[in-house]
Amino acid sequence: MSKGRVCLAYSGGLDTSTILKWLLNEGYTVVCYLANVGQEEDFAAVEEKALKLGAEAFVCEDLQRELVEEVVFKAIMCNAIFEDRYLLGTALARPVIARSQVRVAERYNCQYLSHGCTGKGNDQVRFELAFMALNPSLKVIAPWRLPEFIERFQGRNDLLKFAAENNIPVSSTPKAPWSMDDNIVHCSYEAGVLEDPDKTPPKELWTRTIDPVDAPSEPQEFSVHFKKGVPVKVVTGNTVATDSVELFKLLNKIGHDHGVGRVDIVENRFIGLKSRGCYDTPGLTLARLAHLDLEGLVMDSRVRELRDQFVTLTWSRQLYQGMYFSPEREFVENSIVFSQRSVSGVVRMAAYRGNAYVLGRSSDSSNLYSEQDASMDSLEGFSPMDTSGFIAIQAIRLKKFGLQKIKDGEPLSKS
């Protein structure tokens, strides 16, 4: 008799194949789940392998559209970034994967959810917090945190031995000396040789971007059109994309071809460890810069200041830490959407050898930028004398400060 039914996030690799077989051996029935979030994958081969190993069923869901529209576009709308450099490519995908996996588990009457995340990383936290919010009645089996499992599988050799014993096919391609995770947003590289933070990633590591040195010798121009903060059209040469997924893929292609979006950082995982990660994120890097630039033209300065300080940093941290299905993410995201009501317009850009440049920007709908107002040569509608009053009032506090310093024998004019 089955111990129950498990919905296992299954990638077809050695780790999750081992988990699949181990769960079966333990007496569970297993439904394998694979999300299509735009990664490079032979989905049919994964399905075949799962069923051959004994999965009761295999389900693959294409989540690219919900990933792009529900989450990635929110990231663009708030210029999301973690610790000033990481565009959150992995973290953005986790909520839609977890939600889909829970839906599949519910459909197949599973009592358990399982995954192959390690016990030191962010992803276990992201998946499981999402699972618990999405359906608190489902239980989680996290083999890499089960004493019996980690005792048995102490290294790759133990996995290979188990594979041989259990007829798990093992890829003959040698494994890269680091681990990777990719989706429509980016590919991440970590662990293995990258654990030495002073070791430069080898040229062949990067999969989503051409090496800038090998990129075309001519810049490629393109434009990104926004409506209420959302990209609605990308144009380059004769190519025009207006569908959300298509335009995002077009940005990915431009970024890829010109080597834009590589980042190599040491970051702070949620559980308190520092970790080195490399990411190439071509399209989102371009979209983020375009959006940031357009906001300069059309967003009120004070709204922007509040949004930058309270919303962008907070939403980014929430996503990084797996707090997507939380009241606080909803609270913050409500502000993001509201802040974008006037963010419509076009940004013209060029990509060239690892970098992107803004060439110009315009907006039909906003009145905030005015050439006449900005012009140093025009005094139409502006009285410079007002500025004197403005400065004088601002200086009231500062004069007192300077006088107090003089009184205290520490004049500010002393360098």
**Residues classed as catalytic:** 15, 94, 123, 179
8 Å CB contact between 80 and 319 = yes
| Length of the chain in terms of residues written | 415
**Binders in 286-315 for its own copies, by CB under 8 A:** 292-293, 296-297, 300-310, 313-314
DSSP state of 312: I
CA–centroid distance for 413 within its chain: 48
> 267 is written with which tokens?
């970051």
Does residue 369 belong to the site contacting its own copies (CB under 8 A)? yes
Residue numbers 373-402 binding its own copies by CB under 8 A: 373-377, 379, 382-402
110 belongs to the binding site for its own copies (CB under 8 A): no
And the tokens for 181?
């995770």
Please choose, from the candidates 136, 394, 83, the residue with its C-alpha nearest in 3D space to the C-alpha of residue 266: 83
Indicate the residue among 42 and 83 with the shorter CB distance to its own copies: 83
Least distance between its own copies and beta carbon 116 (Å) = 12
3-state class of 294 per DSSP? helix
Comparing CB distances to its own copies, the nearer of 21 and 99 is 99
Distance in Å, CB of 294 to its own copies, minimum: 9
Q: How far is the CB of 121 from its own copies (least distance, A)?
A: 7
Calpha distance 7→102 (Å, rounded): 8
Q: For its own copies, what does the binding mask look like between residues 189 and 228, x meaning CB under 8 A? A: -xx---xxxxxx-----------xx---x-x---------
Burial class (CB in 10 A: 0-12, 13-18, 19+), 184: buried
Report 237-266 residues binding its own copies (CB under 8 A): 262, 264-266
Among 162, 121, 202, 232, residue whose Cα is nearest residue 20 = 162
Residue 34 interacts with its own copies (CB under 8 A): yes or no:
no
Q: For the window 68-107, what string marks contact with its own copies as x by the rule CB under 8 A?
A: --x--------x---xxx----------x--xx-xx--x-
Closest approach, Cβ 196 to its own copies, in A, equals 6
For 279, the token pair is 């990411």
Rounded to a whole number of angstroms, the distance between the first and last alpha carbons of the chain is 82
Of the two residues 166 and 362, which places its CB atom closer to its own copies in the complex? 362
If the CB atoms of residues 40 and 195 are measured against its own copies, the closer one turns out to be 195
